Amino acid sequence: MDFVFQRSYRGPLKAVILDWAGTAVDYGSFAPTAVFLRLFENQNVKIAVEDARSGMGLMKKDHLRTILARPQVAEAWKTAHGKPASEDDIDSLFNSFVPLQLSVLKEFAEPIHGLLDVVKELREREVKIGTTTGYLRSMMEVLAPKAKENGYEPDCTVCPDEVPAGRPYPWMCYENAIQLGVFPMQAMVKVGDTLPDIEEGLNAGMWTVGLSLTGNLLGMNESEVNLLSPEDRDHAINKIETQLYQAGAHYVIDGIWDLPDVLDDIEFRLAHGEGP
């Protein structure tokens, strides 16, 4: 046979799957960071902000494992406790982490500027809005109602404790597709501020969009970002863009407010037979 024919989806975008902290709410992704710093301080182990942010995007127990695997943290833990951290230690830390995280989430439910306008435009386009997160369902039961009070209510939220595994596995994205009634996966876009967000979307066969200014990789609040000089801002953006593109992101934008133009480009590419 000289030719092989392959099916090609050429329809519209049907759904956007957003991350929560650092993407839709909590500019700079501070809620988990503050809690991890306090959690380790309570164990007489001092960690840096960079350590606390090192596993951002992962399910929070996996995030803890990532922090403890960092050489400087592993050494500090051994110094404080006389032995390396065990799985029992991780379980104990996680059990302490959950109530600490629950206690602060309402303070970090403010929508990032531009989000509500983007949501309105997605509704007008008849594009459904799903979400994935590193937060457990018990945490989302605190965060989501407060976000709703602030005007943000997606169609679907899937948490890592509701599927076989969290990021970078694609199961939360697949569950979003099921609950939203959307297929194929190339008609969906994953948006997030962390490298596991990008990997999650790629593993699910989706278009992926990374955010450079509002998320964990920069780790600044909006006021701090606005105080950056143009040169420092450009340097920071370029560094983060490189990380996200190297992770496989199809697009990198400053923040959620830039998403509509990206969606236009993806729809153009879909109409011409391209896929993610």
- We report the CATH number of the domain holding residue 64 as 1.10.150.240
- Residue 142's Cβ-count burial label (10 Å; 0-12, 13-18, 19+) is middle
Does residue 234 carry a catalytic annotation? no
Q: Rounded mean pLDDT of the chain?
A: 93
In this structure, the answer to whether residues 144 and 156 fall within a common structural domain is: yes
Alpha-carbon dihedral of residues 211, 107, 137, 121, nearest 10 degrees? -50
* Percent share of the chain, pLDDT over 70: 100
CA-to-CA distance for 204 and 37, rounded, in angstroms? 32
Q: What is the extent of the structural domain holding 25?
A: 15-30+109-271
- Which of the four pLDDT bands, split at 50, 70 and 90, describes residue 109? very high
User: What pLDDT does 209 receive?
Assistant: 98
In this structure, the answer to whether residues 169 and 253 fall within a common structural domain is: yes
Higher pLDDT pick, 79 / 192: 192
- We report the CATH number of the domain holding residue 170 as 3.40.50.1000
In this structure, the answer to whether residues 122 and 89 fall within a common structural domain is: no
**pLDDT single digits (tens) 52-69:** 888 777 888 888 899 999
Is the distance from CB of 191 to CB of 184 less than 8 angstroms?
A: no
In this structure, the answer to whether residues 158 and 204 fall within a common structural domain is: yes
Residue of 26, 51, 60, 193 marked catalytic:
60
Beta pairing partners, 83: none
**pLDDT single digits (tens) 200-221:** 999 999 999 999 999 989 989 9
| 172 in any annotated domain | yes
Q: Which of 171, 209, 211, 165 is nearest to 188 (CA)?
A: 209
Mark which of 107, 123, 143 sits at the end of a domain: 107
What are the structure tokens assigned to 240, written together? Answer: 């983060």
In this structure, the answer to whether residues 163 and 208 fall within a common structural domain is: yes
Sign of CA dihedral 38, 169, 246, 75: positive
In this structure, the answer to whether residues 86 and 115 fall within a common structural domain is: no
What are the structure tokens assigned to 20, written together? Answer: 């929560």
Mean pLDDT along residues 94-99: 89
In this structure, the answer to whether residues 88 and 193 fall within a common structural domain is: no
Mark which of 60, 81, 107 sits at the end of a domain: 107
Structural domain count of the chain: 2
175: enclosing H helix or E strand: helix 171-180
In this structure, the answer to whether residues 124 and 85 fall within a common structural domain is: no
In this structure, the answer to whether residues 151 and 25 fall within a common structural domain is: yes
Contacts with 261 (C-beta within 8 Å, 6 or more apart), sequence order: none
Higher pLDDT pick, 115 / 62: 115
- Which of the four pLDDT bands, split at 50, 70 and 90, describes residue 7? confident
The strand order across the sheet containing 207-211 reads 156-158, 128-132, 15-18, 188-192, 207-211, 251-253
Mean pLDDT along residues 77-94: 90
Q: Helix, strand or coil for residue 212?
A: coil
User: What pLDDT does 271 receive?
Assistant: 94
Does residue 128 carry a catalytic annotation? no
Mean pLDDT along residues 145-164: 97
| 193 in any annotated domain | yes
Answer whether residue 97 shows pLDDT above 90: no
Residue of 14, 19, 51, 193 marked catalytic:
19
pTM of the model: 0.89
DSSP 263: H
In this structure, the answer to whether residues 222 and 135 fall within a common structural domain is: yes
| 2 in any annotated domain | no
Cis-peptide, bond into residue 168, ω within 30° of zero:
yes
| 8 in any annotated domain | no
CA-to-CA distance for 15 and 183, rounded, in angstroms? 9
CA-to-CA distance for 206 and 265, rounded, in angstroms? 15
Residue 138 C-alpha from the chain's centroid = 18
Mark which of 107, 122, 148 sits at the end of a domain: 107
| 75 in any annotated domain | yes
| 7 in any annotated domain | no
In this structure, the answer to whether residues 164 and 70 fall within a common structural domain is: no
- Which of the four pLDDT bands, split at 50, 70 and 90, describes residue 236? very high
Residue 183 φ/ψ region, left for φ over 0, alpha for ψ in the -120 to 50 degree band, beta for the rest = beta
| 189 in any annotated domain | yes
| 5 in any annotated domain | no
In this structure, the answer to whether residues 119 and 238 fall within a common structural domain is: yes
Q: Which of 148, 135, 47 is nearest to 98 (CA)?
A: 135
